[in-house]
Amino acid sequence: MEAQVIIAWAAVGLGTVALLLGLVFGVRAFRLARALSATPPTPIPALEAGLHEVLGVVHGEGSVESPLSRQTCVYWRMVIEQRNRNRWETLVDKREAVPCWLDDGGGRVAISPIDADVIVTLGARATGGIFGYPSAQLSEVLERLREAPEGLVGPYLRYREEVVNSGDRLHAVGTVVNTGDGWEMRKEDDFYVISDREEADLVSNQERVALRWAGVAVVGALALVWGASNSDVAALW
């Protein structure tokens, strides 16, 4: 009987966490999808303070070199993951960028890829590591990143690089403010997306994310109900 009570209480705890996470991230993804679809592009000369979508060509003050493909770019992100007990764990998630702006031919607005959710067409991807050791390529990447992640044991490792190059055509959705020196886009109310994808693709992507998190919330709710009905917690309700 004790074992059943422990399992029930564990279901209550895990179910509560899953339900809350599913609700928070599901609602966020749904709101983002709606914001993307409801916010038409605004020409930069017509900007006013508030939430806007801006289309333009990205430029940067200087450049950085991406760690995997060694591209000269204005922004890169490197993610290294390891398979552990049937799920992927993130060991490294690192970004670097220079000050950037979008230019639509009529004006420009400063953007900050470091602060935004950057959703771009995936660039270089690879897997590496066997018998507990990273591949030579991954070792070189880690050296460039100056990273020595704990728990790097392999053999199932994967890593990907996302890059934004100067001259790429992007659209950005976020809150625009006038700093006195010009327009700048910032993250407010969790809305700040920079992407090279079409708007319809982004909306569909966020809707799929919302559905996945809704599924997590449903599973959490079911676990919570089952655990509550099979433990002493039922007596507290």
Q: Which of 104-108, 114-118, 217-221 has the lowest mean pLDDT?
A: 217-221
The residue that leads in pLDDT, 217 or 112, is 112
pLDDT confidence tier of residue 43, bands split at 50, 70 and 90: very high
pLDDT confidence tier of residue 13, bands split at 50, 70 and 90: confident
Contacts with 194 (C-beta within 8 Å, 6 or more apart), sequence order = 111, 113, 116, 117, 118, 119, 164, 170, 171, 172
Rounded Cα–Cα distance for residues 40 and 35 (Å): 9
The pLDDT of residue 114: 93
State yes or no: pLDDT of 125 exceeds 70: no
Q: How many separate domains does the chain show?
A: 1
| pTM of full prediction above 0.85 | no
The pLDDT of residue 129: 62
The pLDDT of residue 170: 92
Query: What is the residue-wise DSSP string for 39-108?
Result: --B--GGG--SEEEEEEEEEEESS-EE-TTT--EESEEEEEEEEEETTEEEEEEEEEEE--EEEE-SS-E
State yes or no: pLDDT of 126 exceeds 70: no
Q: Determine the structural domain holding residue 199 and report its residue range.
A: 2-236
Three-state secondary structure call for residue 17: helix
**Torsions phi, psi for 99 (to 5 deg):** -55, 130
What digits encode the pLDDT tens for the residues 147-182?
Answer: 878 777 767 888 889 999 999 999 898 899 999 889
State yes or no: pLDDT of 143 exceeds 80: yes
The pLDDT of residue 128: 67
The pLDDT of residue 234: 46
What count of residues does the chain have? 237
The pLDDT of residue 237: 46
Helix (H) or strand (E) holding 175: strand 169-178
- Bin 146: left if φ > 0, else alpha if -120 < ψ < 50, else beta: left
State yes or no: pLDDT of 2 exceeds 90: no
**Torsions phi, psi for 131 (to 5 deg):** 55, 40
The residue that leads in pLDDT, 5 or 184, is 184
The residue that leads in pLDDT, 10 or 103, is 103
The pLDDT of residue 183: 94
Nearest CA among 19, 50, 49, 41 for reference residue 191: 50
What digits encode the pLDDT tens for the residues 56-66?
Answer: 999 999 999 99
The pLDDT of residue 72: 95
